[in-house]
Structure 1
Amino acid sequence: MREKFNKFMYGRYGNDELNQFLFKLVIGSLIISLFTKGVRYISDIFYYISICLAFSVYFRMFSKNLSKRYKERDSFLQYSSKFKTKQSQKKLYAFFKCPSCKQKVRVPKGKGKISIHCPKCNVDFIKKS
């Protein structure tokens, strides 16, 4: 039986990080659908979203267009790494907007009141980090 499955999957894409993320969304939308049974339309919307996501997971898994699936995976990993980097930076740095040009400026957390120099418009302003 396992040999038949391996033959079937030969040349197909299989599972990856994007599929795992989409499957977590399927589970999450099904749970939301179950807890919103009283509100009919919201429950139906999340149920159909979960069906569409499950279809896309299986479509990607059994696809033979490997180059397209690799591109999708790479763009997902690129986006998720940016998100993870931002989350890790929020632990170490405070972010402020310059009052004159609205440029975001990053400063270390826990330094008390500091004078911040905007690199874009050369304005100094004082904030508590």
Structure 2
Amino acid sequence: MMNFLRRMMYGRYGGDQLNNALLVLAMVLMLLRALTGWAFLGMMALALLILCYFRMFSRNIQARYSENQWFMQRWMPVKQAIKGVKTRFSDRKTHCYYKCPQCKKRLRVPRGRGKIEITCPECHTRFVKKT
């Protein structure tokens, strides 16, 4: 059986991050379809699954690779923003976060130090904040 699957997938694109995102979105739409009863959500989920399988079994590897690169260029800033929010939330008791007034870089300083002068490592701007 495994040999059959290996031979079938030989020369085909397979899965990637865009396929994973399509699958997760299809599952969310199916869940919403079950909760709301709106039939068009089921149709959209089915269309996403068909697109996912089309991409997975495609032999045009270069086109699928470029689609995935396009998706990753748009997804990485969103992923980094989510990661930043998660990190700031986990550090909320021990650190404060401030933006540099000059370059807008986010700076992390320890909490509970009173008024301190913060120096931005990027543009070397100095500003005073209470922690």
| TM-score normalised by structure 2 residue count | 0.63
Corresponding residue for 2:98? 96
The alpha-carbon distance between structure 1 residues 125 and 51, as it changes in their structure 2 partners (threshold 3 A), is farther
**Partner of 2:67 in structure 1?**
72
Contact 1:103–1:120 (Cα < 8 Å) also in 2: no
SS in structure 2 of the partner of residue 95 of structure 1: strand
Please say if residues 117 and 126 of structure 2, whose CA atoms lie closer than 8 Å, have aligned partners that are also in contact: no
Q: Percent identity?
A: 27
Q: CA 1:125/1:19 → structure 2, altered by over 3 Å: closer, same or farther?
A: same
Code of the aligned partner of 1:124:
F
Q: Which amino acid aligns with 1:49?
A: M
Q: Taking structure 1 as reference, are residues 115 and 77 closer, same or farther at Cα in structure 2, changes over 3 Å only?
A: same
Cα distance in 1, alignment partners of residues 96 and 8 from structure 2 = 52
The number of aligned residues is: 122
Partner of residue 106, structure 2: 105
* Secondary structure, counterpart of 2:13 in structure 1: coil
Residue identity in the other structure for 1:19: N
- Structure 1 unpaired stretches of 5+: 38-42
Q: Which moved more, 1:22-31 or 1:78-87?
A: 78-87
1:102 Cα offset (Å): 7.3
Which residue of structure 2 lines up, in the alignment, with residue 116 of structure 1?
A: 118
1:87–1:94 CA distance, 2 compared to 1 (3 A)? farther
Distance, in Å, in 2 between the alignment partners of 1:7 and 1:97 is: 54
Asked whether 1:83 is paired with 2:79, we answer yes
Distance 1:86 1:115, change over 3 A: farther
RMSD between aligned residues: 3.5
